[in-house]
Amino acid sequence: MTKQERAEFVLKSLSRLYPNPKPALDFTSNFELVVSVLLSAQTTDKRVNIVTPELFRRANTPAKMMNLNEKEILEIIRTCGLAPQKAKAIVGLSKILVEKHGGEVPRTLEELEELPGVGHKTASVVMIQGFGIPAFPVDTHIHRLAKRWKLSSGKSVTETERDLKKLFPESTWIKLHLQIIYYGREHCTARGCNGNTCQICSILNGVMPKKKKQD
């Protein structure tokens, strides 16, 4: 298969498995989305969804959040990885949103990436899930699978993002980003597939399942 044929096979396979993928994080506003995605770094979505209800009960807007101190936020999010840094970033980005953006989450990658604790991946997720603007945030699952499926060399997440954007139509990016993540979590995990085990890997890498012997 050519690289483009491999991409088309992946797209069709994932569309059958996950026709309507939904975001795993719980949020009711773009501000809650930014905070939730920030918290999800080195933390499971399940853990984030456990801590955010109390956090957002106390402060669900930038103005309210900036009035909490880091210690209060840290106490709520302490079970998340890198909690001290995240508490500081949440206070900092809330202040910037109030003072520079009128309390609203900006809708450009450049402005989002200026917020404390918000890198390119987080900003891309907000563009997709908050504004419906196509982007292709690459997490560890997408980076791993793109390399296993020989869609990218996997040298860096930046290169992987660039390669995937070239292979897949922009109209598919919003769904496909989630589809690959869910497949990576459920079928093609870091330890559960060596690049030949799961269905997509076995077909793309030419290792077909052995047929059972007939009696």
Quick: pLDDT tens for 166-186: 999 999 999 999 999 999 999
Among residues 131, 155, 188, the one where a domain terminates is 131
Per the structure, the complete domain to which residue 16 belongs is given by 3-21+136-204
Domain harbouring 91, CATH code:
1.10.340.30
Domain harbouring 181, CATH code:
1.10.1670.10
147 is catalytic: no
Task: Give Cα separations from 48 to 24, 38, 51, 52, 176 (angstroms).
Answer: 10, 10, 5, 6, 22
The answer to whether residue 214 scores a pLDDT higher than 70 is no
Rounding to the nearest 10 degrees, give the CA dihedral for residues 43, 75, 35, 94: -150
Among residues 98, 114, 131, the one where a domain terminates is 131
From the candidates 26, 64, 95, 139, give the one annotated as an active-site residue. 139
pTM above 0.75, yes or no: yes
Counted domains in the chain: 2
60 three-class SS: coil
Q: Is the domain of 160 the same as that of 179? A: yes
Q: Is the domain of 49 the same as that of 118? A: yes
Contacts of 9 (CB under 8 A, 6+ apart): 1, 200, 203, 204
Quick: pLDDT tens for 43-81: 999 999 999 999 999 999 999 999 999 999 999 999 999
Report the b/e string of 77-105 with b at 16+ CB within 10 A.
beebeebeebbebbbebbbbbbeeeeeeb
Among residues 131, 162, 195, the one where a domain terminates is 131
150 is catalytic: no
